[in-house]
Amino acid sequence: MSVDPNTPVLRNCIRLPLPEEELLEVTAKAKDYAIMHGAAMRSKTSFSPDSLNFAPFVLVPSSFPRKEFEKAVALQPIINRLMHNVAHDEEFITTTLAETIKVDEFTANLFNIYRKVLAHGYTQAYSIGLLRSDYLGHVYEGCAIKQVEINTVASSFGGIATHLVQLQNFVLRELGHADKLPNMPKNNALAGLCDGMVKAWDIYAKPQSVILFIIEDVSYNICDQRFHEFYIRETYPHIKVLRRTLTDVHREGKLGLNKELLLGGKLEVAVIYFRAGYEPGHYHSQDEWDARYLMETSLAIKCPSIQYHLAGTKKVQQALAQPAVLERFINDPEEMKAVGKIFTGLYSLDDNDAGNATYEMALRTPEKFVLKPQREGGGNNVYGVDIPEALKRMSRVERSAWILMDLIHPPLTKGYMVRPGAEMPPTIVDMVSELGIFGVVIGDADHIIHNYQAGHMLRTKLSTANEGGVAAGLGALDSPYLIDSDDDDEDEN
Ligand code: ADP
Ligand code: MG
């Protein structure tokens, strides 16, 4: 992606560049610190279950406007409630996804489970959402945050993000900038998310029951997942965490007399935390879909339950961005205004007049947009000038599997990105950061009993990359260094 040369650059946390010797020394230390504190992942290129690489990270924390950070934090409980209400609005979910499921097989499969669950009635009234709302600052509106997407399934990096603050604290101290630490907000994502799972376990109220993590066949982001598991066992020694793939659950899972989910005929599952199951590749055959359905009809509390999963689709996000629709879910006019402001333009590509108008607009000015399918996990979107060709390949009906969104133009930061196997020392690059705010919400259709914000994460990518997935290898983990717009900092550069 080309970057407008006039894009503002945020003031750095410390003066760069660092002298080469100092840079080499602190980078080598930081890499070891990362591995030793679990800011790490399994290698995709030379995978071994016995070893780790450090996860790509940004050496010095990237700047983020304090006001916007605080706004995102304050909004999270409102967004939690919004998503909870959306998930429990059967009519809205059904009509919003009606066109999409005609052409998107994966969403249709999820929807099919939803339909069957509705037909039989929910076995478990409670759901737990561990959400992450992602934002980019938008330079054309004074760097105001705009929501990129909301994740309701497998919202990752709460574990590593919590430890990354310590890593960057260490780096700043090493560089003689301990005075900067107060501008790095504390991050309790791991505790907040895991405590949420345990609150759900408490609701289930069976002392011998376990928490089940649904995992991929191979977990590259193993540390992030293990942080959750180990935190639960260390903080709540009486609770066991099990890890199983969808295929395992198909083989081992059964429902008991009261529809309890039983593994291996005896272990009862209280809470199911999905770290897999959000993309088609996780379902190798009908077996995995059957396992998902089995879990969905069980008494276990699902994170997310199927209605939450569907509420997190891009299509639902697009529908919510229309003020008339948002009104249906948020009563308070002030809250409505605040949430409305974080949405950027999102447009339907359904097979109707509005969808056709979107199509024409995308062909006229593709550089203003990003085209998104109903997928998670990065690498699925189509950007700018590539959009017309992609759209023209689709039939009118096929387009309804996608939505169109205004491109957000984030400010730049400058810094060092450190990645495994890359040349040393790192060089200064232009970067942009995406802020993720975690939220926990637990309730049934009528009541919310827990609703709180739970920490944050920052993911930073090269300004020239369209996407910055860390697992996908394009982004790096980071934490925000909060700056005030009226600061007159001597380290400005
Ligand atoms: P996924 O579910 O694959 O994570 P996202 O909607 O988060 O899908 O898009 C992936 C990435 O693409 C984001 O992390 C961001 O870097 C970039 N992106 C998505 N939407 C926009 C947008 N409207 N403007 C600019 N960049 C975007
Ligand atoms: Mg995303």
pLDDT in tens, 200-234: 999 999 999 999 999 999 999 999 999 999 999 99
pLDDT at 198: 98
Q: How far is CA 418 from CA 59, 68, 177, 425, 477, in A?
A: 7, 26, 20, 9, 10
For ligand 1, atom 22: residue with the closest CA: 407
**362 CB less than 6 Å from ligand 1?**
no
* pLDDT confidence band for 258 (50 / 70 / 90): very high
357 neighbors 396 (Cβ within 8 angstroms): no
* Cβ atoms < 10 Å from Cβ of 442: 25
Determine the angle formed by the axes of helices 222-235 and 158-174, rounding to 10 degrees: 100
Angle, alpha carbons 175-180-182 (nearest 5°): 140
- Number of alpha helices (DSSP H) and beta strands (DSSP E) in the chain: 16, 21
pLDDT at 407: 97
Mean pLDDT of 170-192: 98
pLDDT at 490: 44
Question: Could you give the residue ranges of the DSSP H alpha helices within 381-492?
Answer: 387-393
Give yes or no for residue 3 having a pLDDT over 90.
no
Give yes or no for residue 493 having a pLDDT over 50.
no
Percentage of the chain with pLDDT > 70? 98
pLDDT at 467: 83
Residue to substitute in 143, 221, 375, 381 for testing ligand 1 pocket (most ligand atoms within 8 angstroms of CB): 381
pLDDT in tens, 281-316: 999 999 999 999 999 999 999 999 999 999 999 999
Distance from C-alpha of 387 to C-alpha of 173, rounded to nearest angstrom: 46
Looking at every residue in the chain, the average pLDDT score rounds to: 95
270 neighbors 151 (Cβ within 8 angstroms): no
pLDDT in tens, 400-412: 999 999 999 999 9
Mean pLDDT of 479-484: 98
Those residues whose C-beta lies under 8 Å from the C-beta of residue 142, and which sit 6 or more positions away, are none
pLDDT at 369: 98
Let me know if 132 is a catalytic residue. yes
Local structure of 346: helix, strand or coil:
strand
53 neighbors 418 (Cβ within 8 angstroms): no
pLDDT at 477: 97
Preceding peptide of 304 cis, ω within 30°: yes
Distance from C-alpha of 261 to C-alpha of 257, rounded to nearest angstrom: 10
pLDDT at 223: 98
Exposure of 420 in the CB half-sphere (CA atoms within 13 A): 20
Tokens coding 1: 């992606």
Mean pLDDT of 170-178: 98
pLDDT in tens, 325-371: 999 999 999 999 999 999 999 999 999 999 999 999 999 999 999 99
Ligand 2 geometric centre to CA of 477 (Å): 14
pLDDT at 466: 86
171 against 489, higher pLDDT? 171
Q: Give CA torsion, residues 405, 303, 194, 260, to 10 deg.
A: 180
Let me know if 459 is a catalytic residue. yes
pLDDT at 1: 65
Q: Which of 8, 148, 136, 151 is nearest to 68 (CA)?
A: 136
Say what the pTM is.
0.97
Q: Which residue has the tokens 């260390």?
A: 234
**378 CB less than 6 Å from ligand 1?**
yes
Local structure of 13: helix, strand or coil:
coil
pLDDT in tens, 384-402: 999 999 999 999 999 999 9
Q: How far is CA 448 from CA 55, 83, 85, 135, 443, in A?
A: 36, 11, 9, 25, 4
Strand segments (E) across 267-345:
267-274, 301-303
Ligand 1 geometric centre to CA of 467 (Å): 6
pLDDT in tens, 74-121: 999 999 999 999 999 999 999 999 999 999 999 999 999 999 999 999
pLDDT at 441: 98
Give yes or no for residue 492 having a pLDDT over 70.
no
* pLDDT confidence band for 487 (50 / 70 / 90): low
Mean pLDDT of 277-282: 97
Let me know if 156 is a catalytic residue. yes
Give yes or no for residue 486 having a pLDDT over 70.
no
Tokens coding 356: 């056709």
Q: Which of 46, 421, 43 is nearest to 222 (CA)?
A: 43
pLDDT at 38: 97
Mean pLDDT of 44-67: 96
DSSP 161-199: HHHHHHHHHHHHHHTT-GGGGGGS----HHHHHHHHHHH
Atom of ligand 1 nearest to the CA of 344: 23
Mean pLDDT of 228-244: 98
